[in-house]
Amino acid sequence: MALNIVIMAAGKGTRMKSALPKVLHKLAGRSLLRHVLDMTQGLQAQRNVVITGHGADAVEAAVAGPGVQFVRQMPQLGTGHAIQQAVPALPEDEGTTLILNGDVPLIKQATAQALVQACDGKALVLLTIHLSDPTGYGRIVRQDGQADGNVLAIVEHKDASAEQRTIREGYTGMMAAPTGALKRWVGQLKNENAQGEYYLTDIVAMAVAEGVPVLGIAAPNETEVLGVNSPVQLADLERRFQLEQAETLLEAGVRLADPRRFDVRGSLSCGQDVEIDVNCVFEGTVILGDNVRIGANCVIRNASIGAGTRIHEFTHIDGEKAGGAQVGAGALIGPFARLRPGADLGDEVHIGNFVEVKNSTLAKGAKANHLAYLGDATVGERVNYGAGSITANYDGANKHRTVIGADVHVGSNCVLIAPVEIGAGATIGGGSTITKPVAAGELSVARGKQVAIAGWSRPLKKR
């Protein structure tokens, strides 16, 4: 049966105290609204309508894509008024319309599907939640106040009597309704209430009056229905989401030192016997092979790490886009290493502390263990690249490559001025500035002459 999805995202979100529209605030690397849209992907709706208002241009630009259409609500006169604006975008009368909120990001597909199925184009289905403190929520008023009594109405907190405020069952803001009836009902809403708004929730009493079945379905848990109105709530949902991801990985056999100090903002896939220490952040698409160990406080974005590799503490890897940084098997990286986009490291490569690698290929067994820079370089097998050595790859306008053959030994504090090529097995003496190609097997030393300056004395501290 035809399904429409309408996502309300016009509200202001004053309590975020931010210039960014509320629904564009990020949770685990994706905007709140993006979470909802991603969830709807599996529901196969014939259309997804997003109602925008505050910050509409920014919101629409952020989530525009195939199958998403926008309706503007200006000004915002309530949730019922929001749905009135969507009516022209819902031409058919048969089928179901599912209403979601752009600021309730963790609703699961199974829950949304349950609402749609229970509605079946005929019933009005409300997603409800039992709360110890339902302050602020619309209350689900049931026949004779019985938990299994028929739903009679939703009464908004501000309009509720003292007795109604004792009801613990609240409306989550999500419902599924028969499309034709929904359109008719919202056309009849009035704003004679405590807030002077058009309440979508008033359609419940209309359905009851018409004899349309109204069902309240309880949400499986609180996390799925919590909205974001403030930084406190955003941080709370972030931790809930992260803990859920961590627990899924633990159950799959990934050994996390502490599931509460672990963040994935994207997708992390792990082989067998992977261990991850505390305070690591994974962003974009990250793939860890079997037996990978990640030390504490690493940030790894868009990278794949081969089997048995150890990433020591405080390493920063950023491939920029999926697959943008690659490390082979059995490599040792860090502590305090930095791999940037285009870093492509072979098996058994060693990258030590304060070494930066960008847009460079290092073949099997190459080592740069301390304080070095490799940019736009092709480094052969077993090369040993000394402390303090750099590739001078940028002339101020263009970047140039440095090619270092297999088994080359680059001493400490060398500057390789690109473009330059160093033949296999060559040795570059410490402190050299290399501007010309070096032949295979050659020893090349290019240092200034040591000068003694007469008559100079360094002031000595008095003892």
Identity of the residue numbered 440: A
How far apart (Å, rounded) are the C-alpha atoms in residues 415 and 432? 6
Least separation, in Å, of the C-beta of 189 and ligand UD1? 10
Is 216 among the residues that bind ligand UD1 (CB under 6 A)? no
Task: Check if the beta carbon of residue 411 is closer than 8 Å to that of residue 389.
Answer: yes
- Please, which residue, 175 or 327, has the CB nearer to ligand UD1? 175
- Given candidates 21, 95, 170, 411, which one binds ligand UD1 under the rule CB under 6 A? 170
Q: Considering only the stretches 164-172, 348-356, 435-443, 447-455, report the one whose residues sit in contact with ligand UD1 under the rule CB under 6 A.
A: 164-172
- Given candidates 8, 37, 71, 374, which one binds ligand UD1 under the rule CB under 6 A? 8
- Please, which residue, 55 or 328, has the CB nearer to ligand UD1? 55
Is 40 among the residues that bind ligand UD1 (CB under 6 A)? no
Is 375 among the residues that bind ligand UD1 (CB under 6 A)? no
* Site size for ligand UD1 (CB under 6 A): 28
How far apart (Å, rounded) are the C-alpha atoms in residues 297 and 3? 45
- Cis amide linkage into residue 419, ω under 30° from 0: yes
- Given candidates 49, 77, 119, 351, which one binds ligand UD1 under the rule CB under 6 A? 77
For ligand UD1, the binding residues in 327-346 under the rule CB under 6 A are none
- Helices 203-210 and 179-186 pack at an angle, to 10 degrees, of 120
- What burial class does residue 136 get, using C-beta atoms within 10 Å of its C-beta: 0-12 exposed, 13-18 middle, 19+ buried? exposed
Q: Cα 411 vs. chain centroid, distance in angstroms?
A: 42
Q: Considering only the stretches 71-79, 118-126, 295-303, 421-429, report the one whose residues sit in contact with ligand UD1 under the rule CB under 6 A.
A: 71-79
Name the 3-class secondary structure at 400.
coil
- Please, which residue, 102 or 386, has the CB nearer to ligand UD1? 102
- Here the tokens at position 71 are 């309706």
How far apart (Å, rounded) are the C-alpha atoms in residues 188 and 52? 22
Q: Is 35 a catalytic residue?
A: no
- What burial class does residue 153 get, using C-beta atoms within 10 Å of its C-beta: 0-12 exposed, 13-18 middle, 19+ buried? buried
- Given candidates 99, 137, 328, 337, which one binds ligand UD1 under the rule CB under 6 A? 137
How far apart (Å, rounded) are the C-alpha atoms in residues 324 and 237? 30
Least separation, in Å, of the C-beta of 70 and ligand UD1? 12
Is 76 among the residues that bind ligand UD1 (CB under 6 A)? yes
Is 200 among the residues that bind ligand UD1 (CB under 6 A)? yes
- Given candidates 3, 4, 11, 346, which one binds ligand UD1 under the rule CB under 6 A? 11
Q: Tokens 């200006």, residue?
A: 74
How far apart (Å, rounded) are the C-alpha atoms in residues 399 and 318? 20
Is 173 among the residues that bind ligand UD1 (CB under 6 A)? yes
Is 351 among the residues that bind ligand UD1 (CB under 6 A)? no
Catalytic residue among 130, 316, 370, 400: 370
Is 79 among the residues that bind ligand UD1 (CB under 6 A)? yes
Residue 217: name the closest of 95, 124, 134 by CA: 124
DSSP per-residue codes, 305-355: E-TT-EE-TT-EEE-SSTT-EEE-TT-EE-SS-EE-TT-EE-TT-EEEEEE
Is 105 among the residues that bind ligand UD1 (CB under 6 A)? no
Task: Check if the beta carbon of residue 98 is closer than 8 Å to that of residue 115.
Answer: yes
Task: Check if the beta carbon of residue 327 is closer than 8 Å to that of residue 286.
Answer: no
Least separation, in Å, of the C-beta of 25 and ligand UD1? 13
Count of beta carbons in the 10 Å neighbourhood of residue 108? 14
Is 102 among the residues that bind ligand UD1 (CB under 6 A)? yes
- Given candidates 4, 31, 40, 73, which one binds ligand UD1 under the rule CB under 6 A? 73
- Here the tokens at position 244 are 């859920």
- Given candidates 3, 5, 6, 9, which one binds ligand UD1 under the rule CB under 6 A? 9
Is 78 among the residues that bind ligand UD1 (CB under 6 A)? yes
Is 156 among the residues that bind ligand UD1 (CB under 6 A)? yes
User: Which residues form the interface with ligand UD1 (CB under 6 A)?
Assistant: 8-11, 51, 53, 73, 76-79, 81-82, 101-103, 137-138, 154, 156, 170-173, 199-201, 227
Give catalytic residue positions. 370
